[in-house]
Amino acid sequence: MRVHQVNTAANAIFFLFLWLSASSNALLSPKGVNFEVQALMGIKASLLDPHGVLENWDGDAVDPCSWTMVTCSAESLVIGLGTPSQNLSGTLSPSIGNLTNLHIVLLQNNNITGPIPPEIGKLKNLQTLDLSNNHFTNEIPSSLGHLNALQYMKLSNNSLSGPIPDSIASMTQLALVDLSFNNLSGPVPRIPSKNFKTKSHKMALAIGTSLGAIFLLVFGIVLIWFRRTHNREPFFDVKDKHHEEVSIGNLRKFQFRELQIATHNFSNKNILGKGGFGHVYKGTLHDGTSVAVKRLKDGGAAGGVRQFQTEVEMISLAVHRNLLRLYGFCMTPTEKLLVYPYMSNGSVASRLKAKPVLDWGIRKKIALGAGRGLLYLHEQCDPKIIHRDVKAANILLDDCCEAVVGDFGLAKLLDHQDSHVTTAVRGTVGHIAPEYLSTGQSSEKTDVFGFGILLLELITGQRALEFGKAANQKGAMLDWVRKIHQEKKLDILVDKDLKSNYDRMELEELVKVALLCTQYLPGHRPKMSEVVRMLEGDGLAERWEASQGIESAGKFRTPELSSSERYSDLTDDSSLLGQAIELSGPR
């Protein structure tokens, strides 16, 4: 009997070994090549990559999980492909259909042309598909109707033509469909999504859209009435008695108890940072994933439910390699929390104080990455987002020391107007643009000013207020920078820890960009798109020469406040040097 049991156990172990061996090789071809690697290399081959973001995609690799723009599951399966806003052109390869484990595809804001591959219809696990703001042509593939798990589909701002496939009308699980700004024609099928957008240059489609909008409006009123009468909030079931996992698109809804456990009951030992919106805690989820949990102040404030819901949904749609991605959220009657990936390298502010010192090349890389992140928020995100607190402490570093802009999701979301007047100034002393401090009016140029100060922080290795104090210049800090630039003494600015390990020509270029960004009048400051181009080596000389012409012309106008007087309120309080002062709490 015992021999039989031993044999049975041995057989079980043998078959378990065979199963594990088979599963580990399930993605390998007979020649030992990973099918997902082959598919991704096919995608790379059909794209033109001017910035080299796909440079580390290697066809000889065993698996692609370490590649940029690729996200893998715990089982090392490719579940995410995200290359938004990278100026990619060329076509999208049909080999994408072989990445059958994909959950999310984000290729928006590029210059990709050609048809949308019908092979995408093979991706049965796909939940989010964003191909918006490209140059895709031909008809929408009817095979997209086979994507039964798809919740978000954005194909807007392309050159798609022909009718909308009837197969899409059967996709009852869709939460958002955006087909607007294409050349579609024909009738609009009755798509069940509550967020369906379609606007075309064709009159027939415009009429269909109007009728659809009326239908959705009536349906929305009925739905709101129904939910109110049943005392139930859409998406946010704060009671959640059964503790089931809930999500909005690709966002996970966490239970408050789960985040309590992850952060050791929000222990002070787990605090990563403190800011005007609340504290940030390091947490470890039950599966071992490290996260950063932002516990918002006044989480139970009345009237905040709708605002929080809007912010959560909008933050989740702002996806870029240089933006901190929202992982999930938690909401109860008294608490509001946001969950982000944990950044092991911390913030730029903390790394500037740590050892080993950030070398010159990494500082330049941080400047360009942060600039690209802000450019996306200002000019490529819909609706656009103004950060209003750009500083080294809000720029995080991933494992590759790539800059990731954080804390942007709690800024006011703007429509397409040029500026926005807020009721309270939010920001950190030393980084606040003069017009924002004096009038409360913020715009993209408010962030440009903060970015200029960030560049000086990267150069000096010090926070703005510390730098002003060290220079013994108080409010005249920027005047002093201009002065030493004119006197060609920029070496005085450089972080002493760098010693002589920096490029003096690049130093001068960075200082010029910083001075252009911090000009007193917002209209004189460049846009972030211009700033990024200058950091990439294009257009700085012309812009600098133009700014000097403006400065010279100003000398012949009616005398006004000197620069020192203008900026004095920004950096003049030495009592604030010991801490980052936030001028307002959460909105």
Q: What is the pLDDT of residues 306-325, one digit of tens each?
A: 666 666 777 777 888 899 98
Scanning 318-422, the segments in alpha helix (DSSP H) are 348-353, 360-375
Give the long-range contacts of residues 299-308, CB within 8 A, separation 24 or more.
Answer: 299/332, 299/334, 299/335, 299/336, 299/337, 300/333, 300/334, 300/335, 300/336, 304/336, 305/233, 305/236, 305/331, 307/587, 308/336
- Number of other CB atoms surrounding residue 203 within 10 Å: 9
3-state secondary structure of 95: helix
The closest alpha carbon to 119, from 205, 19, 43, 210, belongs to 43
Helix axes 528-535, 540-554, angle to 10 degrees: 120
CA distance 208 to 122: 30
CB 450 within 8 A of CB 390: yes
Structural domains in the chain plus CATH codes: 31-225 (3.80.10.10), 246-341 (3.30.200.20), 365-397+414-576 (1.10.510.10)
pLDDT of residue 206: 38
User: Is 389 an annotated catalytic residue?
Assistant: yes
pLDDT in the model for residue 44: 94
Q: Which two tokens stand for residue 78?
A: 């490719």
> Which of helix, strand or coil describes residue 87?
coil
pLDDT for the residue 407: 83
The ranges of the chain with pLDDT < 70 are 1-33, 74, 192-250, 276, 298-311, 409-431, 436-440, 465-476, 550-587
HEC-encoded secondary structure of 454-489: HHHHHHHCCCHHHHHHHCCCHHHHHHHHHHHHHCCC
Please tell me the predicted confidence (pLDDT) of residue 448.
94
Joined together, the tokens standing for residue 499 give 């010693």
Query: Which residues lie closer than 8 Å to 362 by C-beta, 6 or more apart?
Result: 401
Indicate which residue of 130, 178, 389, 407 is catalytic.
Answer: 389
Helices H / strands E in the chain, number of each: 15, 24
294 is in an annotated binding site: yes
